[in-house]
Amino acid sequence: MDPAAAYETTLATVAAGRAAPVAQLRELAAQLEVLPLDSGAEVLVLLEPTLDDLRRQAAFAFERAPR
């Protein structure tokens, strides 16, 4: 396979793989935004430990990602 074609195929695969988690995060945000304030606050309190871990892992991944 031509290296340029392989590169393009890899980029397309990565783009498709990136779209799914971004869509999932947006869906979670949309669900949270439509909740009444008290219910939304309760959900956020329950999610906070997981969100903290996600933030740490994301910061580490973004530090390592080439720009």
Same-domain pairing of 30 and 49: no
- Interval 59-64 mean pLDDT: 93
| Residue 59: HSE in the Cβ half-sphere, 13 Å Cα cutoff | 6
Provide mean pLDDT across the span 48-57.
96
User: Burial code of 30-63, b = ≥16 C-beta within 10 A, e = fewer?
Assistant: eeeeeeeeeeeeeeeeeeeeeeeeeeeeeeeeee
Across residues 40-45, what is the average pLDDT? 96
Domain enclosing residue 14, as ranges: 1-34
Same domain, 27 and 17: yes
Do 55 and 40 lie in one domain? The reply is yes
pLDDT by residue (tens digit) across 4-15? Answer: 787 788 888 888
Residue 37 has pLDDT above 90, yes or no: yes
Domain shared by 15 and 26, yes or no: yes
Model-level pTM?
Answer: 0.67
Asked whether the beta carbons of 60 and 49 are under 8 A apart, the reply is no
Structural domains counted in the chain: 2
Tell whether 67 and 45 lie within a shared domain. yes
